Structure 1
């Protein structure tokens, strides 16, 4: 289970720090069933930032997302796996930092595809990636790559009671 190795209270008004379990539990219960847009931020080879919306899900205590192999995001991750993933959950704005690695093993692909299907995206495993009857037009042709975020740090700002702001660091 992903547990924070260190936390820092970022709230300047005296509110208590937020537990990582709040963010983790929201990710687990809101994906894939709620209409959430995740944004992945990557770095282009020339150092300029790039951000794009993706369909992401929390499965077995990890964040996964899909990208077409020819997209700017996939090309950036191939050159530099460092990235951010941001989402507005019900009651918590969350930004996660880490490294995204492509997964090709059939067991993981099947497990994650099953969870995507629970949420309404008919993902099927093919050629070390996914295919489906629909995908974002910008993704290009399938098979689409699956990535797993190795979490290094997350920052949460509560937009519902109990309020607060916290940074969570994770052992590398």
Structure 2
């Protein structure tokens, strides 16, 4: 059963367009090579940066060094947007995930995530699990964050459509 139910926004879709099925959007999140993370600085200015992320258990996960600007921003404001897609006008699917970034510190969860990163990236992203996040072989540390989607949007191109997703539990009520 799908976790999220698609709803076509006809205002921003071609006539006759159909909502993008959740399975298609989920696959885009699972397979994406790169995401753009938007955080908010303490003075309200946005900060956008590319990073790799892992979709696991219907949640998007990313990591960052504790002294990086995005970690500093998240300490003051956990609201984020992660975006992925194609840099082309007329083909592909762009997806945005909005939510709050929450630290992941449980060792079992971090072990699963380290395994997921290594599998997704054919071993190019290998982390050692610590009590507070990940460690790199070169000695660097990384905090790990989970973003449970508060809002997901998919923008299909070619046959243009905008689809929003609501949790299946909320759609049935």
TM over 0.5: yes
Q: Deviations over 1:9-52 (max 9, x none)?
A: 24143301112221112323x15xxxx11111011111111111
Tell me if the contact between 2:2 and 2:22 (Cα under 8 Å) persists in the aligned partners.
no
Separation of aligned partners in 1, 2:144 and 2:50: 15
Which structure has the larger Rg over C-alpha atoms? 2
- From 133, 153, 156, the equivalent of 1:155 is 153
Over 3 Å counting, the alpha-carbon distance change for 1:156 and 1:48 in structure 2 is: same
Structure 2 residues without counterparts, runs of 5 or longer: none
Partner of 1:137: none
Q: Distance in 2 between matches of 1:126 and 1:142?
A: 11
- Maintained 8 Å contact 1:92/1:158: yes
Partner residue in 1 for 2:162: 165
Please say if residues 2 and 62 of structure 1, whose CA atoms lie closer than 8 Å, have aligned partners that are also in contact.
no
Instruction: Say yes or no: does 1:27 pair with 2:47.
Output: no
1:144 alignment partner, SS class: strand
Query: What is the rounded CA distance, in whole Å, between the counterparts of 2:136 and 2:15 in structure 1?
Result: 47
Q: Runs of 4+ in structure 1 displaced over 3 angstroms?
A: none
Structure 1: which 5+ residue stretches go unaligned? 135-140
